[in-house]
Chain A
Amino acid sequence: ETGVTQTPRHLVMGMTNKKSLKCEQHLGHNAMYWYKQSAKKPLELMFVYSLEERVENNSVPSRFSPECPNSSHLFLHLHTLQPEDSALYLCASSQKGTSGANVLTFGAGSRLTVL
C-alpha cells in the first residue's frame, strides 16, 4: 500500500460508454498527476493538478476529462473512447516544490480496455 489508491483496478468499456477512474491519496500531498502507460512506450503525462488547479493537459484528447475536487481526490472521466486508448492509467501524487528532487508516489493503476 503506497498511500495512493486507484479504483477500479480493471475496466472494460465500449466506445460509447461513459466511465470514471478514481484516485485518492492519503499522504498529504498537494500535487496530483495522471499518466498513461502503454507497452514499450515512455510514460505519458496527461494532466497535472497543483493545489487543485490544473496546470497542464499536455494535448490530451477531450474525450479524457480530469477533475480534482480537493487535494486528496482526482478523477479521470472517460467518454467515447477509442480502442487505442486501452492502457494502464496511473495516478501519482507528490509534494509541490521547486527543489527538483520531488519524488512521485504512484497508485497501482487502472487497466482500461476499450472494445
Chain B
Amino acid sequence: AQSVAQPEDQVNVAEGNPLTVKCTYSVSGNPYLFWYVQYPNRGLQFLLKYITGDNLVKGSYGFEAEFNKSQTSFHLKKPSALVSDSALYFCAVRDALLGGSYIPTFGRGTSLIVHP
C-alpha cells in the first residue's frame, strides 16, 4: 500500500513569514500526491496535486508544493503566511483502485498556527 507521513503534529509561524508543512511519501510506481486543508468546523478542501511535470505545483490561496523524488518529499509552502491560513493540513497519495476509482490515503494532518 502507498503511504504518506507528516512528521510534524503542529507548525507555528509568524504572520508574514514563509511557511513549510512537510510530507514524505512511500509508493511503488509513480506518485500521485495531493494536499488538502481543513478549516475549523469544515470539511477538507482540495489545495493542489502533483501528477507529473514541473516539480513545483501551484495551488489555491497562494500555496505551492515542491515534489522531490530523491527525498521522496512533497512539502507544502507559502512565501508569506496569513493568520487566516491557520488550519489542519493533510497530505494524501493515490492508493488502491476500488470500484473504478483510485482512493487516496491521507496522512495524520499537521496543524498550522499563524501568529499575528
Contacts and interface: CB of A to CB of B under 8 A. Distances in A.
How many chain A residues sit at the interface, stated as a range, is: 20 to 34
How many chain B residues sit at the interface, stated as a range, is: 20 to 34
B101 A102 contact: yes
Interface stretch (A12-20, A40-48, A59-67, A72-80): A40-48
A108 B43 contact: yes
- Report whether over half of chain B's contact residues are helix, strand or loop; otherwise say mixed: strand
Interface string A15-46: 00000000000000001010000001111010
Contacts, number: 81
Contact of A41 (B32, B36, B44, B108): B108
B100 A50 contact: yes
Contact of B43 (A42, A102, A106): A106
A96 B99 CA distance: 8
Interface of B: 9, 32, 34, 36, 41-46, 49, 51, 90, 94, 97-109
Interface of A: 2, 4, 6, 31, 33, 40-43, 45, 48-51, 53, 55-56, 90, 92, 94, 96-109
